[in-house]
Structure 1
Amino acid sequence: MGVVGQPEDVALVRIAARMAEIVGLMRTIVLLQYRPMIASSFGQSDFRQLQRYTKIMVSLFLVGGLPIAIAMWIWSSSILLYFDPAFAGNDWVVRFYLLGILAMLIMGPTNAVLSMCDRESVASKNLLQSLGVKVILNLILMPFLGALGCAISSFVSLVFLGFLGRAGVRKALNLETSILVYFKNSDEKY
């Protein structure tokens, strides 16, 4: 953004990204607490417990992040005005960042589960592919849309990362890490 954007766009992107990170803060806290339990369950080949942990984590992600995201969605304009009146009317920059973080909350602890269950290479590939999508979209969108283009590319890359991670966990471990875990048959064999 700093190369192709105006200083105002750079500031707006930084503020919007930090606002969205507040929503993702609960995700980070939960991941710190549950990573050892994920690794332990995997080490003991207890996939039922691993599935239970992922279900709890998705619940905590949503309970902790969704109210903050809704509040920021509603009052994004007011929050931006606090930083600079020139940011008025840029609600969708913040909202696209929020949507990206919400997508990660809904998809659950995908890359953390992959990393803690001996699938670090899959998690790394997912991150690299998502980064590639973000860079390409940034190069395409930012010259025309500025900060909004950057926000859209972040949203798309986070959604892409979530889907890649979910697919990787399903394939490698036969676990559901997304909100769809609530619709999974609890008697399913592992």
Structure 2
Amino acid sequence: MIKSILQLLRRDVTRGVFGTILLKVGSGALAFALFSLAARTMSPDGFGIFATWLSIAQIASVVGLVGQESLLVRFLNEYQVDNRPDLTKGVLLSSLKISAVAMVIAIGAVALVAKMRGDWWLLILAVSAYTAVNAGLMLGSQVARSLVSILMGEGNREFFWRVSVVLFLLVVMTGHRLLDPAELIAVMTIAMSVGLGAQIVAVARALPDFRGTAATSETSRWRSSALHFWVASILEAANQYFDVILVYWMLDPTTAGIYFAASRLANIFAMLSAALYSFGARRLPSLYFSKNHQEFERTLRLMAEVTALSVVGGLLLIWIGGPHLLNLFGPHFAAQHWVLIVLAIGTAFQAAGGPSAAILQLTGHERIYVPVVAANVALRLIGFLVLIPWLGVLGAAISATVSLALATIALNILCRRRTGVDPSILTLLRFSAWKRGPYRVRAAEPGE
């Protein structure tokens, strides 16, 4: 077994996957440190308010990008393989213009809601600035990941800026001062701005000289794809952040903070899914558009092997060390171990399902992806309305896990039927299928 694991680690794709996972795990560890320190430097209600407004800002960032971050992943790789600098320039300019206008509208809506609630002007300003910078990082990371490296894209989006914020919180904690939510959001925004600046410089250096290239457009293709990507992105953001807002609305700020902490810990598996997506989004599109089916299938299988090892290790960590991890947020968090376990089961199930969503969107089947995610959100909302009055925060966790598991199953069935690819860890059990012959990735037919 040890020999097999060592052989697995020597493979180039495996090293790439593990490197991306380590980056995500490091980012997750810093996020955990950030949120646990924030919980200890704020009042229970203050941390709940911070978590709720952070969730609102994340959703607003996704809404304001209008699907352009996913659109760039889809078309930058295609145009690079086809050697079309004119279309590369066109899609970059188009995405920047559209997202800039839409973000102004989204930020205005967030500020208006905050003002109607009677929130302090400093909180409104901090949340608005955070929304804008976060959206810039989300868009910039997609471009940097495609043109520069995963480290430049994901590192500046999720890793480097958190180091300075964690150091700031450590200083605050040693001074025994309570933070206001607006103060922490402002500090996070400043730190993220540095990372955004680094991305802009790196991308500008990596781009070819477009001065002599006339930008051309495929407006109808871009508009159609962007609409589906936008709806999917909003639904995915709702899956990840809307829970905290609902718990805040149906229960209280303190409970919202508890649910936020438990969901961030359970996101150890969501980090795995995000790492696989980040690696796949950089490697799989070029293999797909260059029709390198053998390497495409080899990459998927090695991703499944890494996923299986990570899911088992993560579940053991949550089961054994969960109470100790929750206690780092504060004594009243540690009593919610079962909430953490239930949430972790759902995110582990999603991670084990593999990058089915990415494959469906990559091969042109994004239209069937959107209804599944929409059904997931609707089912989760119904579960919240039914279970929270009965079971409290545990009911919210059960609803989230059940809806996530059903959506994962549906996406994997659709992925196998529409593309011929099984991206889940179950593919490791089908030795005979791989011996008989590799899968063949099938793109969407016109009108499908």
Relative to the length of structure 2, the TM-score reads 0.40
Q: Give 1:134's aligned residue.
A: 380
The ranges of structure 1 where at least 4 consecutive aligned residues each deviate by more than 6 angstroms after the TM superposition are none
- Aligned residue number for residue 437 of structure 2: 188
- What is the one-letter code of the residue matched to 2:437? E
Q: Is the 8 A contact 1:80 1:87 kept in 2?
A: yes
**Contact 2:327/2:334, CA 8 A, preserved across alignment:** yes
Q: CA deviation at 1:46?
A: 4.6
Q: Is this contact kept in 2: 1:97–1:151, CA < 8 A? A: yes
Distance 1:154 1:51 in 2: 31
Q: Residue deviations 1:51-71, cap 9 Å, x none?
A: 322222222223344323321
Q: Which runs of 5+ in 2 are unaligned?
A: 1-246, 441-448
Deviates more, 1:48-57 or 1:167-176: 48-57
Q: How many residues align?
A: 190
Letter matched to residue 133 of structure 1: L
- Higher relative CO (CA 8 A, sep ≥ 6), structure 1 or 2? 1
Distance (Å, rounded) in 2 between the aligned partners of 1:3 and 1:72: 28
Deviation string for 1:137-185 (max 9, x for gaps)? Answer: 1111111111111111111111012101101101101111111111221
Matches within 5 A, 1:1-190: 1-184=247-430, 185-186=433-434, 187-188=436-437, 190=440
Contact kept? 1:73, 1:98, Cα under 8 Å: no
Q: Name the CA distance, whole Å, in 1 between partners of 2:293 and 2:362.
A: 13
How far off its partner does 1:100 sit?
Answer: 0.9
SS in 2 for 1:176: coil
Question: Partners in 2 of 1:15 and 1:110 — Cα distance?
Answer: 27
> What letter is aligned with 2:365?
R
Question: Could you tell me which amino acid in structure 2 is paired with residue 23 of structure 1?
Answer: F
Give me the whole-angstrom Cα distance separating, in 2, the residues matched to 1:78 and 1:36: 36
Q: Give yes or no for contact 1:130–1:161 (8 Å, CA) kept in 2.
A: yes
Three-state SS of the structure 2 residue aligned to 1:28 is helix
Report if aligned partners of 1:57, 1:109 keep a CA contact under 8 Å in 2.
no
Structure 1's unaligned 5+ residue stretches are none
1:108 Cα shift?
1.0
Higher deviation after alignment, 37-46 or 132-141: 37-46
Say which is worse superposed, 19-28 or 111-120, in terms of deviation: 19-28
Distance in 1 between the 2:287 and 2:370 partners?
A: 22
Q: CA RMSD in A?
A: 1.9
Identity fraction in percent: 22
Separation of aligned partners in 1, 2:298 and 2:360: 16
